[in-house]
Structures are given as structure tokens and as C-alpha cells.
């Protein structure tokens, strides 16, 4: 039975779509049959990050409104087997999504996939609520910054009240914290919140920590999820994150300032 995971944050621009793309790619690379759904109707981005924007014909709203079949709308990833993208509509708005329609789409996908990732829009309105409503697990993406942490806190509150699991009194959604754009140097100088601060405020299990990295911007612009860039710090951090999602115990990396040793001074750091 497929696991439905929502990638959410409340605040915009913290790296939800980047993380949804990177994690779904990582899961597929580990042999899990994965689909990633863009719930950001009207502000579609996932297709760009996944590099499949030229192959979009039908979208989630078409499927929900019965204008296209699910298999017509699913886009097969060119780089990894087992990975599919269900894009959002750019011309509609979030009112085009209905709870029943989303439920029906998810039900069909569940039969075929191991993991269903829902890339939530920013905010706490309809689109975000529908993206989280049917989730089994949630990845809350947070930047080391006060407004992002407060919005994540708000989202965690909604996850425990405005979801199917909460409303039907089932086991609560399993919540994970994913900290992105972490810059140990700026944490040391006090520009950013520390890892400990964030964990203390949000009181949620830490799934991963992604360092601020040039590789992420490059990956987004090239339309290649950063997980494919195995040499980069961010690529490795996402691979660790995926391993933890699959239940492996992996020590945390990239959260401390790197002391430059003799070798790295001579040959340059491994940060690219």
C-alpha cells in the first residue's frame, strides 16, 4: 500500500518544490515506485524543477474534472525509472480542486505506487489543506529563520487537526522536519537560527538538514533534481534524507562549520 507524504511549510520560497523533487527522485533511485503531485494549481513549478515542462499535456485538474485519464496526465521521468510527475494546472485556480476529486486520484495512485508525494502550495488555504488532507506522513520544510519557523509551527497545528487522520481519529500523521538553506557559518555569526533552536521550538523529529548550496539553484535552473548531483553537499544531504525516510539511521552532516584542513586548503573544499 502506498504511503502518501505531503511536503509542506506554510511559508513560500523555503524549498518545498525543490525538496519534493529531490526526495521523490531519491526514492525512485532507491527502487521505490514514486509519483510526485503538484498541488500548486495556478502557480505550477514542479514540472520546471523536474525538467519536464515541455511534456505537459494534461494536469491534475483535468483528471479531477474527468477531462483526461490519470495515465494520460502522468509524465514518466526521463532520468529515473519508477518516477512519475502529475503536474498542476497553470490556467485554473485552487477552487478547481475538490476533496472528492483528490481522494479519487489518490485512491487510484495508491494501487500502483509505493510513495505518493504531494507538493503543497504555500499558505494555509484550500490548496495547502487538500495537499495535506489525505497524508500519512508530512515533511515540514523550514528555513533557519523566525518567520519560517512560526509558519511551520502553524502548519504542524493544522496537520494535527485539519486532516483526515485527525478528523477520523486514526493514528496521527507522522511528522518530519526538514531544514533547508542551512548555513553553519551564518548560524555561528547569529544571522540564522541554530538547529537546536528550531528543534526546540517545533519539537518534531528531524528528517534531514540541507545546507545552503549553489548546487540547489543550479539544479533548479537546469531542471535536474539536485539528488542527481551526488558530488554536491545538497545532493548528498537529500540522499541522507531519503535514507532516513526509508527507516535507516544516518548521522547528521553539514550542520557544523567545516574546518579547513591542509588538504582542502590545497585542493579546495568539496563544496561546489
Partner 1 sequence: MSLNVDSADVAFTFKGGMLPMTVMELASADPEHIRRQLAGKLSQAPAFFQHTPVVLSVEKLDEPHLALERICAVCRDHKLLPVAVRGGSEPIRQSAWALGLGWFPPVEEGRARILESVSERTNDAVDPAATEVVEERAADAPVALSETTRLYRGTVRSGQQVSAAEGDLVVIGAVNAGAEVLAAGSIHVYGALRGRALAGIHGNAQAGIYCRELEAELISVAGTYKRLEDIDPKLLGVPVEVHFVKEQLEIKPLA
Q: How far is the CB of 211 from partner 1 (least distance, A)?
A: 26
- Indicate the residue among 203 and 217 with the shorter CB distance to partner 1: 203
162 binds partner 1 (CB under 8 A): no
* Single residue of 151, 229, 233, 240 touching partner 1 by CB under 8 A: 151
34-38 β-sheet, strand order: 75-76, 83-86, 34-38, 115-119, 3-8, 137-142, 174-182, 206-211
Torsion sign across C-alpha atoms 110, 115, 121, 125: positive
* Single residue of 73, 117, 156, 226 touching partner 1 by CB under 8 A: 156
Task: Pick out residues in 170-209 that bind partner 1 (CB under 8 A).
Answer: 200-203
| C-alpha closest to that of 6 among 170, 178, 148 | 178
| C-alpha closest to that of 77 among 87, 90, 69, 68 | 87
C-alpha span between 98 and 34 (Å, rounded): 23
Q: How far is the CB of 137 from partner 1 (least distance, A)?
A: 18
Is 90 buried (19+), middle (13-18) or exposed (0-12) by CB count in 10 A?
A: middle
Binding mask 102-141 toward partner 1 (x if CB under 8 A, else -) reads: ----------------------------------------
Q: How far is the CB of 202 from partner 1 (least distance, A)?
A: 8
* Single residue of 158, 192, 195, 239 touching partner 1 by CB under 8 A: 158
Task: Pick out residues in 205-264 that bind partner 1 (CB under 8 A).
Answer: none
Helices (H) and strands (E) in the chain, counts: 13, 8
Task: Pick out residues in 56-95 that bind partner 1 (CB under 8 A).
Answer: none
- # residues contacting partner 1 (CB under 8 A): 13
What does the DSSP 8-state code read for residue 136?
Answer: S
Mapping DSSP onto H, E and C, the string for 205-230 reads: CEEEEEECCHHHHHHHHHCCCHHHCC
What does the DSSP 8-state code read for residue 163?
Answer: S
H-helix or E-strand spanning residue 179:
strand 174-182
* Single residue of 150, 199, 218, 271 touching partner 1 by CB under 8 A: 150
157 binds partner 1 (CB under 8 A): yes
- Indicate the residue among 157 and 269 with the shorter CB distance to partner 1: 157
Q: How far is the CB of 160 from partner 1 (least distance, A)?
A: 8
- Indicate the residue among 175 and 233 with the shorter CB distance to partner 1: 175
Look up residue 65 and give its three cell numbers. 474534472
Strand partners, 8: 140
35 binds partner 1 (CB under 8 A): no
Binding residues (CB under 8 A) for partner 1: these are 150-151, 153-154, 156-158, 160-161, 200-203
Amino acid at each position: 500500500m502506498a504511503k502518501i507524504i505531503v511536503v509542506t511549510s506554510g511559508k513560500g520560497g523555503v524549498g518545498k518544490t525543490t525538496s519534493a523533487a529531490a526526495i521523490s527522485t531519491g526514492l525512485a533511485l532507491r527502487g521505490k515506485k514514486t509519483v510526485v503531485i503538484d498541488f500548486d494549481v495556478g502557480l505550477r513549478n514542479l514540472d520546471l524543477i523536474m525538467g519536464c515542462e515541455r511534456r505537459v499535456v494534461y494536469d491534475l485538474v483535468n483528471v479531477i474534472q474527468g477531462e483526461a485519464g490519470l495515465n494520460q496526465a502522468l509524465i514518466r521521468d526521463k532520468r529515473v525509472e519508477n518516477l512519475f510527475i502529475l503536474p498542476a494546472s497553470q490556467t485554473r485556480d485552487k477552487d478547481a480542486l475538490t476533496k472528492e476529486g483528490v481522494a479519487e486520484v489518490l485512491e487510484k495512485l495508491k494501487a500502483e505506487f509505493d510513495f505518493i508525494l504531494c507538493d503543497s502550495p504555500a499558505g494555509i488555504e484550500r490548496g495547502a489543506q487538500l495537499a495535506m488532507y489525505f497524508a500519512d506522513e508530512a515533511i515540514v520544510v523550514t528555513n533557519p529563520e523566525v518567520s519560517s519557523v512560526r509558519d511551520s509551527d502553524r502548519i504542524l497545528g493544522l496537520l494535527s487537526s485539519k486532516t483526515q487522520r485527525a478528523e477520523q481519529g486514526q493514528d496521527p500523521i507522522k511528522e518530519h522536519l526538514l531544514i533547508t538553506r542551512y548555513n553553519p557559518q551564518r548560524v555561528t555569526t547569529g544571522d540564522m537560527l541554530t538547529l537546536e533552536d528550531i528543534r526546540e521550538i517545533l519539537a518534531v523529529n528531524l528528517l534531514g538538514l540541507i545546507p545552503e548550496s549553489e548546487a540547489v539553484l543550479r539544479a533548479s535552473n537546469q531542471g535536474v533534481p539536485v539528488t542527481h548531483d551526488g558530488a554536491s553537499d545538497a545532493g548528498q544531504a537529500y540522499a541522507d534524507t531519503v535514507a532516513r525516510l526509508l527507516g535507516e539511521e544516518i548521522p547528521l552532516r553539514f550542520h557544523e562549520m567545516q574546518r579547513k584542513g591542509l588538504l582542502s586548503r590545497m585542493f579546495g573544499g568539496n563544496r561546489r
